[in-house]
Structure 1
Amino acid sequence: MNTYSEAISWIHSQLKYGINLGLARMEWLLKELGNPEMKLKAIHVAGTNGKGSTVTFLRSILNEAGYDVGTFTSPYIETFNERISINGSPISDDELIELTRVIKPLAEELKKGEWGPPTEFEIITAMALYYFGNIRQVDFTTLEVGLGGRYDSTNIIQPLAGIITNIGKDHINILGDTIGKIAYEKAGIIKEGIPVFTGAKQREALSVIREETEKKQAVLFQLGSDFSIENNESIPSGEKFTFQSKETTYENLKLSLLGRHQTENAALAVASLLYMKEKKLLQLHEKDIRAGLKKAYWPGRMEVLREHPTVILDGAHNAEGLEAFLSTMKERYSKRKVQVIFAALEDKDLPHMLPLFKKINAKVTFTEFDFPRAANALKLKEIAKIEDAAIESNWRSLAERIVSELHPEDVLAVTGSLYFISEVKPFIVELLREKYQI
């Protein structure tokens, strides 16, 4: 394994093993690696939406407090390496090559055994844990669950705190077709005696999470009960709100990320870090929280590439994410001409998602992209049942045309699958650079 392209090619070759939930392969891999996960001071983040944003808020605040922070997130938006980052900077190509050299022989050996080959996500998880435990030790590590929680490969860790952002109907073919079943899988990250912070709202979900915390003798902190968001206001640069708990009030906290849902993710990050401060696991000041929240940046989540005209990217890849996207668009851009480009994976809950576009006054164009599970543009329109929606199979031609015709007060939003967003972003950035010579 001598080049970056060889390393990436081998990692992606493991995609053929699909999704295979369970912890036996991870336990074997990490034992062979000397159990690097045991060295980590970790925060574990699960949930249907908002995991990556919450990880970003945690990292940014801890950075402001002077700590080095490793993050493991998925999927990537700009470069594969960003899935394993330190202080917001992706690991180098050489480091990824070295990690592949370490993990590949173990993966080949594991493949011959009773548990079979590791999946791509298990390999990347093992790389991250080995990297943060053995190569570049950090003060704290934040890990985003890949799928579910209970049998996700990240659930091999013993964290300082667990966060469950919210519960929605996503991956129902794997996690279950009810909120209760999905909550049960997410609640699988709850460990014996480890505090849990949740933004879940549904009674059914909260009942499941409470039952699991009681069983594990863990303490549960709930958004809207133990801590809350007050006086939320959308401002030109993002969001402004007050964080309120029984012990603490922080007024006029500001975020650079757009959307009320981001204040919920921020509140979860703040509440968990304040708890860790109270338990003397870290040192933290109000100024660190304020600066960290304001500086936090997460690509592909209501990301504004340009103003006048406004061009936005947002990975609204399930019904809850699309609801949040549409709510933010209506709140901010209802008086402007809006065009939306949308592409999705066919295994999403499309019958529930697509009719939601009727809630927004915008010209919607359904498109498709080159990905194994990508939905056909015509199928998207048929499911949406939106008469005046357009279809265009070639998203590049579509983007070129729309960008070339944009006027200063127009808004273009590209949304849907995060895999689509990662493909689109560099292309649209280049289109904007050429048009506006920036």
Structure 2
Amino acid sequence: MFTKYSEALEWIHARLRLGIKPGLSRMEWMMEKLGHPERKMKTVHIGGTNGKGSTVTYLRNILEAAGYSVGTFTSPYIEQFNERISVNGKPISDKEILELTNVIRPLADELEETELGGPTEFEVITAMSFYYFANVNQVDIVIYEVGLGGRFDSTNIIHPIASIITNIGLDHTNILGHTYGEIAFEKAGIIKEGIPTFTAVKNEEALKVIKEQAEKKQAPLYRLNQDFKVTSHSPQANGEIFTLKSAEHTLEQLEISMIGQHQTENAALAAMAAQSINHDEDFSISENAIRTGLKKAYWPGRFEILSNRPLVIIDGAHNDEGISALVQELSTRYSNYNIHIVFAALKDKKLDQMIAQLDQVADEISFVSFDFPRAAQANDLFAISKSKNKVMADKWDTHLSKITKSLENNQILVVTGSLYFISEAKPHLCEFLKNNVISL
């Protein structure tokens, strides 16, 4: 039995040593022991390569605006570990984490003695969330974000009332496959028999696989640019305005407070899913709730402006597709600025492609490393870059402080890369800006 939150958290994080072990057998074993909590709740399942977290928060805010209590399960965290299991956007307490860990720990120990082996960190946290929402804090609906892939992800034991697949890119290729089709097959594993699925996938190879899987499972499939469209998009200083058109509805002048054209697509997916959920007898979601929820939605670390004077932005662009979206927004919105990018990444990403894109938009670029088992070393990132104005720094926190302090009116600092890095960098930057009397 753990008696302190810190002990529980240390035990959970220690399970990172087990790495990633795709498969549902360990989850099914634990759910059997717990009396199948995953069957006692209404859920929505969200998978894809990029945009999962943003889509979760759009849908959560819509449902909250409609008056419902909404649980969310997301990863990784940006500001604190507890936010991975949240209710109406509020992370569960340290005390609840401690109690949940004491429920799951004996099962993990018992499972370790079987031929299945011990559960991974992600499996432990997923099991904690199922137990929490079924037995500790029952809510109206829970939104589950896929951790990796879909077909063998530990969240894929739920039977949702709607499924969403955001976009698909060539990420985690060593696990999910090396082609769009192979990765799409894994992502499409969350499609369930007869359950409506909404997707923003554009790649034809990937979309073909998703259509095939939806047809096999007789699941209605709604596709961006075919069954619903984003039109009349207009970038704003602090967000976007767009119109959502589908066969059933046209919602004009929808506003979101997150920046980027890609965010209009994530918001459209959430709005379409909300309209589908409306067909469930337990839910009634008005157009006003959709409008209010979309405008209110906020997700940390996604093109987030930490300060306007000086201009400091963080963005968890952790793969090639994410970097493309970031570069597009910087080129569109800040072409008149001198852009200094600070980049840290995991070593299993397509670093050459990511850095090549950043080199093109950055006037200056810094490479740093951080304390994480899969983190790339700053000197390796530096060696890949072809920028004529590049540096590497041993201590990312000192380096960020130095750059921030020296920023002038025509300069912008963009901190990007791994979400694990962003989760460390954001609180440091916020504290530095606060202590140096700079307006947030």
TM-score, normalization: structure 1?
0.98
Q: CA deviation at 1:409?
A: 3.9
SS at match of 2:248: coil
Q: CA deviation at 1:437?
A: 5.7
1:125 equivalent to 2:119? Answer: no
Work out the CA distance in 2 between the residues paired with 1:134 and 1:275: 27
Work out the CA distance in 1 between the residues paired with 2:151 and 2:437: 48
Worse-matched range after superposition: 123-132 or 330-339? 330-339
Residue in structure 2 matched with residue 320 of structure 1 by the alignment: 321
Q: CA deviation at 1:113?
A: 0.7
SS at match of 2:100: helix
1:54 equivalent to 2:55? Answer: yes
Aligned pairs for 1:285-304 (under 5 A) are: 285-304=286-305
Residue deviations 1:378-436 (CA, integer Å, cap 9, x gap): 21122232232222121112111111111234211100000000011111101101112
Q: CA deviation at 1:81?
A: 0.1
- Contact kept in structure 1, 2:310 and 2:404, CA below 8 Å: no
Work out the CA distance in 1 between the residues paired with 2:116 and 2:386: 45
Work out the CA distance in 2 between the residues paired with 1:437 and 1:416: 24
Name the aligned partner's letter for residue 105 of structure 2: K
Q: CA deviation at 1:279?
A: 4.5
Residue in structure 1 matched with residue 239 of structure 2 by the alignment: 238
SS at match of 2:155: helix
Residue in structure 1 matched with residue 257 of structure 2 by the alignment: 256
Q: Where do 5+ consecutive residues of structure 2 fail to align?
A: none
Q: CA deviation at 1:358?
A: 3.2
Worse-matched range after superposition: 61-70 or 344-353? 344-353
Aligned pairs for 1:316-355 (under 5 A) are: 316-355=317-356
Name the aligned partner's letter for residue 109 of structure 2: E
Work out the CA distance in 1 between the residues paired with 2:234 and 2:70: 30
Residue in structure 2 matched with residue 401 of structure 1 by the alignment: 402
User: What is the percentage of aligned positions where both structures have the same residue?
Assistant: 54
Residue deviations 1:311-357 (CA, integer Å, cap 9, x gap): 11110000000001111111111111221100001111112211111
Q: Where do 5+ consecutive residues of structure 1 fail to align?
A: none
Residue deviations 1:249-284 (CA, integer Å, cap 9, x gap): 111111111111111100000001111213445101
- Contact kept in structure 2, 1:230 and 1:244, CA below 8 Å: yes
Residue in structure 2 matched with residue 271 of structure 1 by the alignment: 272
- Contact kept in structure 1, 2:60 and 2:88, CA below 8 Å: yes
Name the aligned partner's letter for residue 3 of structure 1: K
- Contact kept in structure 2, 1:255 and 1:295, CA below 8 Å: yes
Name the aligned partner's letter for residue 169 of structure 1: L
Work out the CA distance in 1 between the residues paired with 2:255 and 2:215: 35
Q: CA deviation at 1:233?
A: 1.1
Residue in structure 2 matched with residue 189 of structure 1 by the alignment: 190
Work out the CA distance in 1 between the residues paired with 2:275 and 2:360: 38
SS at match of 1:154: coil
Residue in structure 2 matched with residue 93 of structure 1 by the alignment: 94
Work out the CA distance in 1 between the residues paired with 2:273 and 2:227: 11
Work out the CA distance in 1 between the residues paired with 2:279 and 2:368: 50
Name the aligned partner's letter for residue 252 of structure 2: E
Residue in structure 2 matched with residue 14 of structure 1 by the alignment: 15
Aligned pairs for 1:130-209 (under 5 A) are: 130-209=131-210
SS at match of 1:31: helix
- Contact kept in structure 1, 2:345 and 2:418, CA below 8 Å: yes
- Contact kept in structure 2, 1:304 and 1:313, CA below 8 Å: yes
Residue deviations 1:208-235 (CA, integer Å, cap 9, x gap): 0000011111110001111110011110
1:27 equivalent to 2:28? Answer: yes
Work out the CA distance in 1 between the residues paired with 2:363 and 2:72: 36
Residue in structure 2 matched with residue 42 of structure 1 by the alignment: 43
Work out the CA distance in 1 between the residues paired with 2:151 and 2:221: 17
- Contact kept in structure 2, 1:334 and 1:361, CA below 8 Å: no
Work out the CA distance in 1 between the residues paired with 2:86 and 2:53: 13
4+ runs deviating over 3 angstroms:
278-281
TM-score, normalization: structure 2?
0.98
